[in-house]
Amino acid sequence: MTVVGECSLCLETGELQLGHIIPKFVTKFIKNHSEAPHKRLLGVGAQLLQDSPKRHMFCRKCEQLLGKDEKLFNENALSDAALFSSQLRYDGWMLRFAAGLLLRTMIDNRALHETPQRKELERAERSLAKFLLKGAPTGYALLRISVGIQDPERLTSTRMRTPYEQALTAGTTWGVRTHPTGQFLAVFAQIPFHVFWMPVVPKRVKESEWQNVKIRRRGVFDANQPQVCPVEYHRTIDFLLAETEPLFRESARRADVRQGKPPTTERRSA
Ligand SMILES: [Zn+2]
């Protein structure tokens, strides 16, 4: 079925491709690295899904443009070498990958159309699109949070997630978060080992409050460096992970039961 419409990146009207919200290599990675073929994708409303939903978002040219950086991210950030190293060196692909992934997430959340925050989301979408198409600097801070999550009991310290905890969050979820007061709005996408996060309101961040998480044109993420984020954002991120962990854990347990294996949790702690 041919779908004709406006491409959400270049704004030209033409044939739109059916593209994944969460790139296919992420789904593949999850399937390949799961001990059992269980469901590890979450959609809206915390539903476990087998595959990433698809939408008609971009024209062929624009899907290909995003695909280039998605390929580089896959080769560099999800390679075994990268996953076993505490340092991740990156180049322009990291910033463009994050922008593309968060743009897809925003398009998937256009159901928020009637909300007052919708205007802010539309502005953010256009800013990311201009950055992706023309390299125009985006005023929005693109953040990447990895293994360092603050300890909710001691908000001044940073707790590193253990490899086991990371394995439990090795699914994916994506969405838009609003504060109950409507005061901040952020777009996020969690994929294995990475949480991408973009505050929409306010769009800039104080570097001192977000240490070691801002994505630059090139740089290095060091898992040994503490990562910091403001308390209210931390609570949201922690809530997000707390929501996904039990679901992934339960999904893994069921898959083990089906295959007649001892539960994954017992094998890991043994
Ligand atoms: Zn296009």
Q: What is residue 133's predicted lDDT score, i.e. its pLDDT?
A: 97
Residue 112 phi, psi dihedral angles, 5° rounding:
-75, 15
Average pLDDT over residues 169-190: 78
Question: What are the structure tokens assigned to 208, written together?
Answer: 């001192």
More confident residue, 7 or 147: 7
CB 227 within 8 A of CB 213: yes
Per-residue pLDDT tens over the stretch 99-157: 999 999 999 988 766 677 788 899 999 999 999 999 999 999 999 886 544 444 544 44
Higher pLDDT, 51 or 124: 124
pLDDT for 66 equals 98
Rounded Cα distance between 19 and 34, Å, is 24
Report the relative pairing of strands 13-16 and 18-20 from DSSP bridges.
Answer: unpaired
Quote the ligand 1 centre to 193 CA distance (angstroms). 30
Q: Where are the alpha helices (DSSP H) in 78-190?
A: 80-83, 92-108, 118-134, 163-168
Q: Calculate how far, in angstroms, residue 207's C-alpha sits from the geometric centre of ligand 1.
A: 33
Closest residue by Cα to residue 174 from 46, 266, 88, 60: 46
Alpha-carbon span 50 to 41, nearest angstrom: 6
Residue 234 tokens read as 């931390």
- Phi, psi (5° rounding) for residue 159? -105, 135
Taking residues 31-60, report their average pLDDT.
Answer: 71
Which whole number is the average pLDDT over 10-25?
A: 95
Q: Which has more pLDDT, 173 or 269? A: 173
The pLDDT value given to residue 145: 80
Cα of 222 from ligand 1 centre, angstroms: 35
In the reported structure, the alpha carbon of residue 67 is separated from the centroid of ligand 1 by a whole-number distance in angstroms of: 13
Spacing, Cα 249 to ligand 1 middle (Å): 39
Concatenating the DSSP letter of every residue in 176-199 gives: EEE-TTS--EEEEEEETTEEEEEE
Rounded distance between C-alpha atoms, residue 140 and residue 205, angstroms: 8
Structure confidence at residue 152 (pLDDT) = 46
Interval between CA 62 and ligand 1 midpoint (Å): 4
R_g of the chain computed on alpha carbons: 18
Give the global pTM.
0.84
DSSP H/E element including 145? strand 143-145
Span 61-89, mean pLDDT?
90
Q: How far is residue 98's CA from residue 245's CA, in Å, rounded to a whole number?
A: 23
What whole-number percentage of the chain has pLDDT above 90? 36
Span from the CA of 118 to the centroid of ligand 1 (angstroms): 22
Identify the pLDDT of residue 245: 67
pLDDT score at 57: 97
Q: What is the mean pLDDT of the chain?
A: 79
